[in-house]
Amino acid sequence: MHLARFPRVKLCHAPTPLEFMPNLTKLLGGPQLWIKRDDCTGVATGGNKNRKLEFLMGEALAQGADHVVTQGAVQSNHVRQTAAVAAKLGLKCTVVLEHRIQTNDPDYLESGNVLLDKLLGIDIEYRDGGTDMQAAIEAVGERLKSKGTRPYVIPGGGSNATGALGYAHVALELLAQANEMGLRIDRLVHATGSAGTQAGLVAGLEALNSGIRVLGIGVRLPRERQEENVHKLAEATAAKLGLKGGIRRDAVEANCDYVGAGYGIPTEGMAEAVRMVARSEGIFLDPVYSGKGMAGLIDLVRKGAFGKEENVVFLHTGGQVGLFGYRDFFTGAAA
Ligand SMILES: *Cc1c(COP(=O)(O)O)cnc(C)c1O
């Protein structure tokens, strides 16, 4: 797995820490719970998208792009990180935000990620929920091209085979850390959405013959579709890396029992997880992804899914800025 063959812009503060969570481990009575701090990747308050953007922006610059276009939900972390990296690299940026959640909540619509997007001075367009967002950004790309600019269009979540290389790289980084620390990792758990994080991790960990099983906790789609998306992208990533033999279907595992009513809609389990990790470890999770991911991990621990001596690493994918878009949920009458 030779990642230096691909264009890359180094952006991340890395390696990110791999830390033990003694208090959460004690609170839940085991397994041994660790956390990989990809909320601390640096640019624009960090998060997993910066990992993908190293390779996506590498490709954009290699192609001579002067403008990046991407999309996400209104409180998209991916959009915020992409916009910040574009600013850093001197590229113009246009984003298309989908009203994926029906709400008039001013915090959701204007605070959190949206506030930071606006500080970055990018062009923001909005679309109704249910819009074909990939088609929308391709249309924006065509419009920009017709005006003589050179756009580079990044899919939602930065999830294509190029972006997923960022997480194949994290597989290398994590394994090197584990080997250095003498830490046998039994399980890696994280929130999975647009699939690039899990696809890159699975491709990388399989290529390295690590024996580490990855479990994605879904935040949007039902299990079958989520696993299909991850597997398809893991195969594409493996092919891009020149790995022989493809990716076993059973290397891709997602649990989508913790989505609740839908993408970005809070659940009680998420609220409990956010508070529990804040109050035991002083670490903030986010309401849309890592909070639901941790809610899944906590529930599975309670159901006895892991041995007490197993080492389970939770990949913190960032997104805490989104908490400010959910002020009412955490502090309002319902809280
Ligand atoms: C995008 C995102 C994820 C999901 O990663 P995918 O690669 O889209 O599956 C998880 N956590 C946070 C905070 C994110 O912003």
* 51-105 tens-digit pLDDT: 999 999 999 999 999 999 999 999 999 999 999 999 999 999 999 999 999 999 9
Among the listed residues 89, 59, 83, 61, the one whose alpha carbon sits nearest the alpha carbon of residue 70: 83
Nearest CA to ligand 1 atom 1: 157
Give the position of tokens 């839908």: 262
Among the listed residues 78, 226, 67, the one whose alpha carbon sits nearest the alpha carbon of residue 153: 67
What pLDDT is recorded for position 332? 78
Question: Residue 333: what are its φ and ψ, rounded to 5°?
Answer: -60, -30
Give the position of tokens 């993908």: 52
Q: For the residues 118-128, what does the mean pLDDT come to?
A: 98
Give the position of tokens 């159901």: 303
User: What number of CA atoms fall less than 13 Å from residue 128's CA on the CB side?
Assistant: 2
What pLDDT is recorded for position 9? 98
| Cβ 113 under 6 angstroms from ligand 1 | no
Alpha carbon of 122 to ligand 1 centroid (Å): 21
Query: Mind spelling out the 3-state secondary structure of 79-146?
Result: HHHHHHHHHHHCCEEEEEEEECCCCCCHHHHHCCHHHHHHHCCCEEEEEECCCCHHHHHHHHHHHHHH
Separation between Cα atoms, residue 218 and residue 62, nearest integer Å: 33
Residues annotated as catalytic (active site), given as ranges: 76
Q: Is the pLDDT of residue 206 over 90?
A: yes
Q: Is the pLDDT of residue 335 over 70?
A: no
pLDDT in tens, 183-197: 999 999 999 999 999
| Cβ 216 under 6 angstroms from ligand 1 | no
Nearest CA to ligand 1 atom 8: 194
User: Which ligand 1 atom sits nearest the alpha carbon of residue 190?
Assistant: 10
Length of the chain: 335
Kindly write down the DSSP assignment for every residue of 43-55, as one continuous string: GGG--THHHHHHH
Alpha carbon of 124 to ligand 1 centroid (Å): 21
User: Which ligand 1 atom sits nearest the alpha carbon of residue 47?
Assistant: 13
| Cβ 293 under 6 angstroms from ligand 1 | no
Give the position of tokens 């791999």: 18
One-letter amino acid identity for 34? W
Q: What percent of the chain has pLDDT over 70?
A: 99
Strand 187-192 relative to strand 311-316, pairing: parallel
Averaged pLDDT score across all residues of the chain = 97
| Cβ 170 under 6 angstroms from ligand 1 | no
pLDDT in tens, 264-303: 999 999 999 999 999 999 999 999 999 999 999 999 999 9
Alpha carbon of 109 to ligand 1 centroid (Å): 20
Ramachandran bin of 121, using left for φ above 0, alpha for ψ from -120 to 50, beta for the remaining angles: left
What pLDDT is recorded for position 334? 60
Q: Are 206 and 238 in contact, with CB atoms under 8 Å apart?
A: yes
Q: Confidence class of residue 333 from pLDDT cuts 50, 70 and 90?
A: low
| Cβ 78 under 6 angstroms from ligand 1 | yes
Strand arrangement of the beta sheet that strand 187-192 belongs to: 18-20, 32-37, 311-316, 187-192, 213-218, 254-255
Candidate of 16, 170, 194 to mutate for ligand 1, largest count of ligand atoms within 8 Å of Cβ:
194
| Cβ 47 under 6 angstroms from ligand 1 | yes
Q: For the residues 151-166, what does the mean pLDDT come to?
A: 98
Separation between Cα atoms, residue 83 and residue 95, nearest integer Å: 8
Q: For the residues 230-251, what does the mean pLDDT come to?
A: 96
Q: Are 90 and 9 in contact, with CB atoms under 8 Å apart?
A: no
Alpha carbon of 52 to ligand 1 centroid (Å): 11
What pLDDT is recorded for position 27? 98
Give the position of tokens 């906790």: 217
Structure tokens at 176: 């090197």
Q: For the residues 41-54, what does the mean pLDDT come to?
A: 98
